[in-house]
């Protein structure tokens, strides 16, 4: 069951995460220009409705179809998604999450069925007309059949949320959210449930608390502060750096190993999350769009006028409660545990959540060579790509680290970017990625050299790569 939920969450995340920038753009326009915004402007505010109804929904549908059947799947996914959009009077994010992948699967099956059966010279004609005809049919089906079903599902979800809100028990959601974060089930919860409901609420009142239920950095911050005060050994020494990455960088998974070292700290995370939700609900703390990553630097710009006090106090109180609960738990139960072991556990769970199994032994590539070794001959190195599963968090950090090392070595002319391991740019000459992503990276760009690492932040392979590049120069 857990594995199925993780796969589902990973798929939902794949449709939302590449489009987070569009969500943030929409959220900023909402925060500034709606009648209750920072700078009310009727002309600019007119963008809010069409962007949520059409732009964001079509992007989700396109991305869902593309994940299944490439660009062709994305096009038919967008066509079919238009059917659910027209058939409803509310943003159809859930409908897009259904029609996008479904349409991609259908066109993929069609292409497979007719593979090798089209006469030479008629390929383009068949490809274009098949996509157009099937897309039109799916749009009509979505308009008349899928859209009403999705509206019913939305109503059920809203009723469930209304029950929590009207009974004053929304803070109890932390009982599920905080453990889910540590087990990497947060994508299914956040992008599959909370964000769509938040978008619906923004449409009605201009802001939503649902964007902060999972993104609140307070619970994790409190736990890391507790380690700074009463932690032991490596955990205590590394906690200050983890605080910066967590609170400012918004990469929450940095604190997961600290909880796994002492699972009783889940109580602190739940208490901090619940108190934060209670404060946000009481003081009207909310955001105008999803904050991704969950950094304070991303949260504050998306906070609408009149909600800053609630948001800031919600984060502070959740941090304080989490800290107060975590300190005695660390004193009583914190004598045992190993940070490196916990980090390995987090790595294994994260890989499991992404459907990846180990393909190499620690420290060696599949052929037995050093993971940092570059075995292919290249010309002048100009493009290095860092790749992780989503192409946003870990790879962005790793790219920054390597870029600084290259500049320090006088190799600042080398371009270092980050991307998803499934869509590595064709011009990549060297790809740096986690050893467990080796097969996917090789499939994504078979012509690039691979440098395999275990830790995106501090890998000895970085220095080895820089040294080799410097020697080549």
Q: Active-site residue numbers?
A: 388
Distance, in Å, from the CA atom of 103 to the CA atom of 83, rounded to the nearest integer, reads 12
Distance, in Å, from the CA atom of 221 to the CA atom of 244, rounded to the nearest integer, reads 9
In the DSSP assignment, the letter for residue 66 is: H
Nearest to 29 by CA among 54, 12, 52: 52
Distance, in Å, from the CA atom of 288 to the CA atom of 40, rounded to the nearest integer, reads 15
Cα R_g (the chain), whole angstroms: 24
Q: Is 449 helix (H, G, I), strand (E, B) or coil?
A: strand
Distance, in Å, from the CA atom of 247 to the CA atom of 146, rounded to the nearest integer, reads 41
Q: Given CA atoms 455, 457, 460, 464 in this order, what sign does their dihedral have?
A: positive
Nearest to 432 by CA among 382, 375, 388: 388
405 cis-preceded (ω within 30 degrees of 0): no
Q: Is 18 helix (H, G, I), strand (E, B) or coil?
A: helix
Strands (E), 136-246: none
293 cis-preceded (ω within 30 degrees of 0): yes
Q: Is 373 helix (H, G, I), strand (E, B) or coil?
A: coil
């Amino acid at each position: 069951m857990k594995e199925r939920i993780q796969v589902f969450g990973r798929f939902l995340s794949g449709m939302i995460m590449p489009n987070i920038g569009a969500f943030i753009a929409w959220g900023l326009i909402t925060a500034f220009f709606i009648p209750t915004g920072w700078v009310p402007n009727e002309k600019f505010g007119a963008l809010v409705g069409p962007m949520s109804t059409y732009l964001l929904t079509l992007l989700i549908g396109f991305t869902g179809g593309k994940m299944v059947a490439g660009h062709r799947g994305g096009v038919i996914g967008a066509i079919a998604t238009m059917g659910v959009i027209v058939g409803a009077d509310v943003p159809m994010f859930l409908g897009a999450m259904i029609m996008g992948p479904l349409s991609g699967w259908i066109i993929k099956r069609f292409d497979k069925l007719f593979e090798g059966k089209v006469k030479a010279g008629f390929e383009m004609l068949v490809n274009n007309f098949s996509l157009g005809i099937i897309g039109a049919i799916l749009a009509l089906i979505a308009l008349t059949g899928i859209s009403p079903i999705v509206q019913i599902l939305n109503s059920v979800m809203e009723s469930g949320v209304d029950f929590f809100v009207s009974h004053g028990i929304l803070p109890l959601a932390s009982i599920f959210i905080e453990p889910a974060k540590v087990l990497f089930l947060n994508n299914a919860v956040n992008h599959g449930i909370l964000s769509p409901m938040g978008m619906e609420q923004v449409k009605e009142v201009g802001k939503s608390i649902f964007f902060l239920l999972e993104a609140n950095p307070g619970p994790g911050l409190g736990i890391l502060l507790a380690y700074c005060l009463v932690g032991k050994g490596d955990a205590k020494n590394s906690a200050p750096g983890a605080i910066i990455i967590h609170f400012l960088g918004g990469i929450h998974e940095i604190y997961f190993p600290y909880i796994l070292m002492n699972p009783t700290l889940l109580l602190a995370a739940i208490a901090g999350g619940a108190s934060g939700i209670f404060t946000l609900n009481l003081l009207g703390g909310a955001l105008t769009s999803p904050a991704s990553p969950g950094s304070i630097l991303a949260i504050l710009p998306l906070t609408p006028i009149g909600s800053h006090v609630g948001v800031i106090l919600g984060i502070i109180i959740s941090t304080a409660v989490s800290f107060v609960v975590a300190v005695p738990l660390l004193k009583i139960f914190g004598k045992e545990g190993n940070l490196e072991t916990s980090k390995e556990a987090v790595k294994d769970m994260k890989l499991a959540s992404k459907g990846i199994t180990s393909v190499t032994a620690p420290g060696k590539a599949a052929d037995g060579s050093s993971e940092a070794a570059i075995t292919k001959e290249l010309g002048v190195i100009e493009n290095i790509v860092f790749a992780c599963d989503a192409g946003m968090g870990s790879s962005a950090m790793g790219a920054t680290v390597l870029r600084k090392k290259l500049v320090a070595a006088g190799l600042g002319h080398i371009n270092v970017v980050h991307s998803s391991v499934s869509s590595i740019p064709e011009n990549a000459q060297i790809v740096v990625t986690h050893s467990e992503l080796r097969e996917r990276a090789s499939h994504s760009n078979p012509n690039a050299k691979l440098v395999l690492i275990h830790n995106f932040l501090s890998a000895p392979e970085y220095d080895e790569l820089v040294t080799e590049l410097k020697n080549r120069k």
